[in-house]
Structure 1
Amino acid sequence: MVAVSPDYASRLRYAWKVVSVTSLGLVLIGIAGSTLNVALPTVVRHFRAGPFESGWILLAFLLVNTASLVFFGRVADLLGRREIYLAGFALFTVASLLAGFSPNVWFLVAMRVVQAIGAAMILANGTVIITDAFPPDRLSQGMGVYIGTLSVAQLAGPTLGGLIADTAGWQWIFWVNVPAGVIALVWGAVTLRKMPRGPREPVDALGNVLVFAALSGVLLALSEAGSRGLSSPVVITGAAVFLVLAPLIVVVERRASHPVLNMGLFAGRMLACANLASLCNALARSALILVVALYFQSARGLDAFTAGLSVLPVPVGMALASPIAGALGRRLSPYALSIGGSVFSALGLGTLMLTADPATPYWIIGVGLFLAGCGSGTFLTGNTTQVMTALPAGSLGVVNGFRIMIMNVGVVLSVGMSLSLITSSVGPELRDQVYAATLAKLSPVAVDQLMTGFQRAYTVLFAVALLGTLLAALARTPRTRSLGAE
C-alpha cells in the first residue's frame, strides 16, 4: 500500500468538497435546460406563441450564455473566481423566480437572458475551480464525477419537466430552480476558498460584442431557414451579418492585446482538434433530448410526462458512463476515452436514423438514445481532462471560458439547426402545431411529412458525430507538455 502524505489527503478532501459545490451548479443548469426541453409545448400553448417566439425561448439562453462565457472567464481572473462563481448562483436563482411570474412570452425570454448570464458565470469557472483543487493524478476522477452530475440533472430533468407541465403548471418549471439555487449559493459560500487572482489585464469588450453579433446572425439564419426558406430576407440578413463579421473578428482579435478569441493558445494540432471534436460532439448531442421529446409529443401524441420518461436512456447512459470513464482515466489516456466516446455517440445517432417512423418499436429508439448518452459521458470526461491538463496554469480562466464557448456554439447551432430541419418538412400553417405538440391530433398526413424532418435532423447529427470521431482521433496528445508542441 502506497503511503499518502497528510497534505495530499487534505487537498483531496477539499477537492471532493469542491466537486460537490460545482456539481450543484451543473445540476442547477442541467435541470433548468432539460425540464424546459420537454415542457416547451406546454409553455408555448400557455402564451400562444408562434414558431419564432417558441424557438427563442430556448435560443436566447443558449446565445447569451455562449457569447458571455469567455467574458466571465476574464472577469473572474480579475475580480476573483469564487466571487464571480457565487454571483452566478445568485443571479440564476433570482431570474428563475421572476421567470415564473412572466406576464408574456417576451418577458420570459428576457428572464432567460438573465439566467444565461448567471449560468455563464457558473460554467466559465466550475472546471477551473476543480482543476485547481485536485492533484493532477486524480483530476480525471474529479472530472468524471463532475460531468456525471450533469447526467443526473438530465436524468431527473425530462421526467420532472413532464410531470410539472402536466400537474403543477409551467411556472414551476422555473420555480423548482429556486431552492436548489439557494442551497448551492450557501454551500458554495461556506466551502470554496479564495483563489489567487489572475493578472489585471483588460477585457476585450469589442471582441465580445463582435462575437455576440456574429453568433446572433448565424443563429437567426439557422433558426428561420426552415420556417421561412433560404430566400427569406431574415435568413439572408442573418447570414450576411455573420459572413461580414467573421473576417472582421479575425482581424480585430489579432490586434487585441488580450483577445476574447486567443487563437494562439489553440495553435497546436492536439488542442485545435480536441476543441473542434468538442464542437462536433456538442452539435451532435445537444438537441437530442429536445428532438426526441418533440418526436414523442408531436408525432406520437404522447403527453409531456410520458415523453420525458421516453428520453431517459440518454441521461442514464451519461450517468453510467461518466464516472466509469473517470475511473478508467487512471488506466486509459484521455485521448483513448475521447475516441471511444465519439464512436459510441456516432453509433447511437446512426441507430436513431432508422427510427424516424411513428411505428418504430421503442426498444430500438431506446438503444440509440442509450448509446448516444454513453458516448457523450465518456467523450466529455476524456476531452475535458485532455484539454485542461495541456494548458498552462496562468491561462486556465480565459481558455476554459473559450473552451466552453466553443462547445456551447455547438449547442446553439444544434438546437437552431435541428428545429429548422424538423419544421422544414411541413407547411407554414402547421409549424405552430409542431411546437405546441398538437400535430398528431390534427393530421396523419402531416405527421408523415414531419417524419421527413426528423430523418433529416438525425442524418445531419450522425454526420457531425462521424466528423467529431475523426477529429478526436487526430487530437493525439504530444509528448511535450509545452503549449502548441507537436
Structure 2
Amino acid sequence: MAESLAGEPAARESRQAWLALWSLLFGFFMMLVDSTIVSIATPTLMQAFEADVGEVVWVTSAYLLAYAVPLLITGRLGDRFGPKTIYLVGLTIFTLASVACGLAWSIEALIVARVVQGFGAALLTPQTMAIITRLFPPQRRGAAMGVWGATAGVATLAGPLLGGVLIDGLGWEWIFFVNAPVGVVGFIMVVRNVPALEKHAHRFDWLGVVLSAVGLFCIVFGIEEGQTYAWGHIWGPFSVWGLIITGVVVMVAFVVWQAAQKGEPLLPLQLFGDRNFAMANVSAAAMGAMITAMVFPLLLYVQNVRGLAPTQAALLTVPMALISGGLAPVVGRLIDKRDPRPIAVAGFVLLAAALVLHSALMRPGMPVLWLLVPYGLVGLAMGGIWGPLSVSATRNLPPHWAGAGSGVYNSTRQLGAVLGSASIAAVMQSRLAVNLTGAGAGAGDGHGAGVGRVPAVIAAPFTKAMSESMWFPVAAAVVGLVGALLMAPHRVAADGVGAPAGHSVAGRG
C-alpha cells in the first residue's frame, strides 16, 4: 500500500484512510502512555533508587523535555522525508529506548534512557496529526481529530492505571518492557496500512534548534531544581534565578531570530496569523501542564497518606479515562457541523470546577472513593476539549503547512507538559517545606517525605501540601479557558463546511 493518496480526494475518506489512522494511533497511544505512566511509580522508584521527589520527577521531566524540544523540526522532517518513514524511525528508537529504561541500574541511567525515549516520541508524534490533516478534508476532519484527541486523552490518563497493574504484578521495570511487543506490532501495522504521502522540500534552521533547546532546558531545570537549591546558587556564582532568566532571554532571542529569517524558520510565525491556531496552541499548552501536574499530588496523597497500592491508586482515574474516551468521538462528529468554540469553553469551565472540588476533597479522613466524582467530571470536561482544540488549530492549514502546524501544535502541548511537570515539582516541594516545618524530625525541607507511608504525625500537613498543590492545575485550566474564549467563532454553512471569522494562513507559501 505504498501508493500515494495525493490528488485523490475520494480516497482520503476511504476505509484505507481510517485504517491508516488506527494503525498510527496504536504506536501513538503507547508513546503517550509513557508520558504519565511513571507518575504512578514515583514512590516505588524513590525506594528502588533511594531518590527524593525532585530526582524521580526528572524521570518524567527529562522524557517530556527531550520530547518537546525537537518537535518543531521533526514535523518538518516528516514533510521532507515522508511522515510514514519518520514515524517508523521514531517508533524504533522509542521501542529500543523503552527496553533500556527497564534495564536501568540507577536513577541517572533511567533518566538518560528516558531522554532517548523522548526523542523517539518527538519523531513519531507530529506525523500522526500531519497525516490526518492530509488524508481527511477540513469538513470531515472533526471525526478523525476526535479519535486523535480521544487517544491522546485516554492514553495520558490510562498511564497510571496500566503502570499500577504492572508495578504490582511484575515490578517497575515492566512499565517499560511492555512497550517492546507493542512497538513491534505497531511497526508492522504502519508498514502495511499507512500510504506514502507527497514529500515537500524544506531547509532546516539549526540555529533555531540550538536556541530553543538551550532556552527550554535553562527554564525547566531552573524551575524544577529551584526548591532543591533554596532558589539560591546552583554552581558557584550561578543562581537558579539567573538560569531561568537566561532561559527566557534565549527564548526571546529564538523568537526574534524566527521573525528575522528570510528562508524557512523553525517556528513559522505566519501560522499564528490565524487567530484560532494561536489560541488553540495556548489552550493546548495549558492542557499539557494541567494533565501532567494534577497526577503527582493525587498519587502521592492516596499512596503515602491513604496507603493505597499503585493499582488501587490508579483505579481512581478510570472514570476520567472512560468518560473522556467515550465522549471524544461523539464531540468529534458534532464539531464537523457546529462551532467547536462553545464546546471547548464549556469543557474548560467544568475542568476548573472539577479540579477545585478535587482539592477540597483531599483530606486525611475523607473516603477515598469521593475522588471518583471530580475525576469523572474531569473526564467529561476533557472529552469536550481535545477535539475542538485540534480541529480549531488545523482547520485552516493548507497541505504544505501540515507538518509545520502539527509540529508547532504538539510542541506547545508538550512544552506545557514539561513546564507543568517542572512547576508541580517545585510547588509540591515548596508546600511540603511550609506545611511540614516543625511537624516531624527531618521533614521540614520536604525531601524524603514522599518515601513510603508517611508517619501519622505528618499525615495532615502532608495532605494539606498536596491539596494546595492542586491549585496549580486549576490555574492551568483557567489559562486554557482564556485561550478558548479568545478563539474566533466558526461559521458553519448548510453543507457542514465552515470558515472561522479570524484570519487564515491558507494560501500563504
Aligned to 1:104: 106
Deviates more, 1:342-351 or 1:84-93: 342-351
Aligned to 2:465: 453
Note the 1:342-361 alignment, pairs <5 A: 342-361=348-367
| AA matched with 1:407 | R
User: Is the Cα contact below 8 Å between 1:85 and 1:125 reproduced in 2?
Assistant: yes
Measure the CA separation in 1 of the matches of 2:350 and 2:144: 22
Aligned to 2:188: 186
Q: Do structure 1's residue 37 and structure 2's residue 59 form an aligned pair?
A: no
Measure the CA separation in 1 of the matches of 2:364 and 2:323: 24
Aligned to 1:255: 260
User: Is the Cα contact below 8 Å between 1:12 and 1:134 reproduced in 2?
Assistant: no
Deviates more, 1:118-127 or 1:468-477: 468-477
Q: Do structure 1's residue 92 and structure 2's residue 97 form an aligned pair?
A: no
Note the 1:333-344 alignment, pairs <5 A: 333-344=339-350
TM-score, normalisation: structure 2 = 0.88
| AA matched with 1:266 | F
Measure the CA separation in 2 of the matches of 1:381 and 1:14: 22
Aligned to 1:377: 383
Measure the CA separation in 2 of the matches of 1:154 and 1:47: 25
Measure the CA separation in 2 of the matches of 1:52 and 1:467: 26
| AA matched with 2:243 | G
Which of 131, 136, 140 is residue 133 of structure 2 equivalent to?
131
- 1:392 is displaced (CA, Å) by 2.2
TM-score, normalisation: structure 1 = 0.92
Helix, strand or coil at the partner of 2:348: helix
Give deviations 1:27-63, integer Å, cap 9, x for gaps: 2113323322212221221121234421211110000
Aligned to 1:479: 501
User: Is the Cα contact below 8 Å between 1:12 and 1:135 reproduced in 2?
Assistant: no
Give me the identity figure in percent: 27
Which of 397, 407, 425 is residue 403 of structure 2 equivalent to?
397
Aligned to 1:238: 243
From the superposition, tell whether residues 473 and 101 of structure 1 become closer, same or farther in structure 2 (CA, over 3 Å).
Answer: same
Aligned to 2:168: 166
Measure the CA separation in 2 of the matches of 1:360 and 1:404: 38
- 1:83 is displaced (CA, Å) by 0.3
Measure the CA separation in 2 of the matches of 1:483 and 1:79: 24
User: Is the Cα contact below 8 Å between 1:148 and 1:377 reproduced in 2?
Assistant: yes
- 1:453 is displaced (CA, Å) by 2.5
- 1:232 is displaced (CA, Å) by 4.4
Helix, strand or coil at the partner of 1:314: helix
- RMSD in angstroms over aligned alpha carbons? 2.3
Helix, strand or coil at the partner of 1:287: helix
Aligned to 2:223: 222
User: Is the Cα contact below 8 Å between 2:347 and 2:381 reproduced in 1?
Assistant: yes
In structure 2, runs of 5+ residues without a counterpart are: 1-7, 437-441, 490-499
User: Is the Cα contact below 8 Å between 2:290 and 2:476 reproduced in 1?
Assistant: yes
Aligned to 1:27: 29
| AA matched with 1:252 | W
From the superposition, tell whether residues 116 and 68 of structure 1 become closer, same or farther in structure 2 (CA, over 3 Å).
Answer: same
Higher relative helix content: 1
Give deviations 1:122-170, integer Å, cap 9, x for gaps: 1111111112112333211111122222344345432221122122111
Helix, strand or coil at the partner of 1:102: coil
| AA matched with 1:244 | V
In structure 1, runs of 5+ residues without a counterpart are: 1-5
Measure the CA separation in 2 of the matches of 1:288 and 1:80: 36
Measure the CA separation in 2 of the matches of 1:82 and 1:119: 14
Measure the CA separation in 2 of the matches of 1:247 and 1:10: 40
- 1:480 is displaced (CA, Å) by 6.4
Aligned to 2:55: 53
From the superposition, tell whether residues 53 and 466 of structure 1 become closer, same or farther in structure 2 (CA, over 3 Å).
Answer: closer
Helix, strand or coil at the partner of 2:199: coil
- 1:475 is displaced (CA, Å) by 0.5
User: Is the Cα contact below 8 Å between 2:347 and 2:382 reproduced in 1?
Assistant: yes
Aligned to 2:210: 209
| AA matched with 1:454 | M
Give deviations 1:356-403, integer Å, cap 9, x for gaps: 322223344222112122222321111101111122221110121011
Give deviations 1:230-258, integer Å, cap 9, x for gaps: 33445224213213313222222222322
User: Is the Cα contact below 8 Å between 1:334 and 1:386 reproduced in 2?
Assistant: yes
Give deviations 1:441-473, integer Å, cap 9, x for gaps: xx2343322233223322232123123212201
| AA matched with 1:44 | M
Aligned to 1:3: none
Tell me the matched-pair count: 476
Aligned to 1:304: 310
Give deviations 1:246-280, integer Å, cap 9, x for gaps: 32222222223222222222034332222112222
Measure the CA separation in 1 of the matches of 2:212 and 2:377: 34
User: Is the Cα contact below 8 Å between 2:280 and 2:484 reproduced in 1?
Assistant: yes
Measure the CA separation in 2 of the matches of 1:57 and 1:435: 16
Measure the CA separation in 2 of the matches of 1:457 and 1:33: 20
Measure the CA separation in 2 of the matches of 1:115 and 1:194: 25
- 1:82 is displaced (CA, Å) by 0.9
